[in-house]
Amino acid sequence: MKNTERKLTFAANWKMNHGVAEARAFAEKFLALTSSSDGLKLWFFPPAVSIAALAAALKNRPDITVGAQNVHWEPRGAYTGAISIPMVIEAGARLTLVGHSERRHLFGETDEQVARKTRAALAAGITPLVCVGETLSERDGGRTEQVIVRQIGAVLQALEVEAWREVVLAYEPVWAIGTGKNATPDDAAQIHELIRMELGRSGVSFPVPILYGGSVNAGNVASLLTQPQLDGVLVGGASLDPAGWADVIARGSQAKVRPSGGFDVVES
Ligand code: PGA
């Protein structure tokens, strides 16, 4: 399945959780709780050391794709601690997060590095899931739009219009990540619209899928996904437990939205 096909997407970002043994145990439980659905895309971003084990454990599920949380833009070289795109592909990844806010704010990743990684992922044939989002002080200072436009702009500058056919975006307000605070469904929808306008202004006239992230859980996923602007969710904390994550997916897919670009959500 093409990663950019516009189907309702549930993406699990495990961050620095679940090493190999825990990833395998998660997979076993998750497979017992869920069955493959044509209408959904389920993505997992485990820590790099667990990619191979998780991809192997989930390989019989066509709805599931495994990705990396971070990659370097160079294919090899003297970059201690870094992991290249060919390496994560060899391990079984077909996607990579790029510019997650924790990479930007805890590890100092710049807009320019985000753009380079995005270009490198596309050149290597894996789908970049590029994250953007404003901090609390940027939001309080009325600079949300400016920040989003700047972050998207760096990627727009680096890519040909056609390359956007292989890109997926995530809007994750930094103040909502891991804090239990949520953007309201309306707020999220409004920023998704802003991103689409920005892409449109630069000639990207086809729909690029946009996920929403930030304290999404079983209690709020349905109301978020009733917004037609949201193509799915990117979830940290609530994706760590197999039963909890299966519940988020079940509730979210029950919302049965039919987003602006139109995708089919199979009834479960
Ligand atoms: P959270 O993380 O769901 O724990 O807020 C989301 C993310 O950082 O991708």
The tens digit of pLDDT for each residue in 27-54 reads 999 999 999 998 999 999 999 999 999 9
233: CA distance to ligand 1 center in Å?
10
Q: Give Cβ neighbours of residue 268 (< 8 Å, ≥ 6 apart).
A: 37, 250, 253, 254
Q: Return d(Cα 54, Cα 10) in angstroms, integer.
A: 16
193 is catalytic: no
Band (256; pLDDT cuts 50, 70, 90): low
Is residue 220 lining ligand 1, measured as CB closer than 6 Å? no
Is residue 244 lining ligand 1, measured as CB closer than 6 Å? no
- Answer for the pair 159, 204: CB distance below 8 angstroms, yes or no: no
Mean pLDDT, the chain, as a whole number? 93
Is residue 114 lining ligand 1, measured as CB closer than 6 Å? no
Is residue 215 lining ligand 1, measured as CB closer than 6 Å? yes
221: CA distance to ligand 1 center in Å?
13
Does pLDDT of 151 surpass 80?
yes
71: CA distance to ligand 1 center in Å?
19
CA 58 to chain centre: 18
Q: Return d(Cα 24, Cα 150) in angstroms, integer.
A: 39
138 is catalytic: no
- Answer for the pair 58, 245: CB distance below 8 angstroms, yes or no: no
Q: Return d(Cα 191, Cα 98) in angstroms, integer.
A: 19
Which atom of ligand 1 is closest in space to residue 11's alpha carbon?
Answer: 9
Does pLDDT of 260 surpass 80?
no
Does pLDDT of 122 surpass 80?
yes
Does pLDDT of 180 surpass 90?
no
According to the per-residue pLDDT averaged within each range, which of 155-164, 176-185, 258-267 is highest? 155-164
Is residue 133 lining ligand 1, measured as CB closer than 6 Å? no
11: CA distance to ligand 1 center in Å?
10
**Of 258, 216, 252, which Cα lies nearest the Cα of 234?**
216
Q: Which residue has the higher pLDDT, 10 or 268?
A: 10
Q: What pLDDT, on the 0 to 100 scale, is given for residue 54?
A: 98
Contacts 24+ apart (CB under 8 A), 133-142: 133/101, 133/171, 133/172, 133/173, 133/174, 133/177, 133/213, 133/214, 134/173, 134/174, 134/175, 135/105, 135/174, 135/175, 136/174, 136/175, 139/173, 139/175
If one residue of 9, 13, 217 were mutated to test the ligand 1 pocket, choosing by the most ligand atoms within 8 A of its CB, it would be 13
Catalytic member of 18, 72, 100, 192 = 100
The pTM for the full model equals 0.94
C-alpha pair distances (Å), 268 with each of 6, 38, 220, 252, 258: 18, 10, 19, 11, 15
Q: Return d(Cα 143, Cα 133) in angstroms, integer.
A: 11
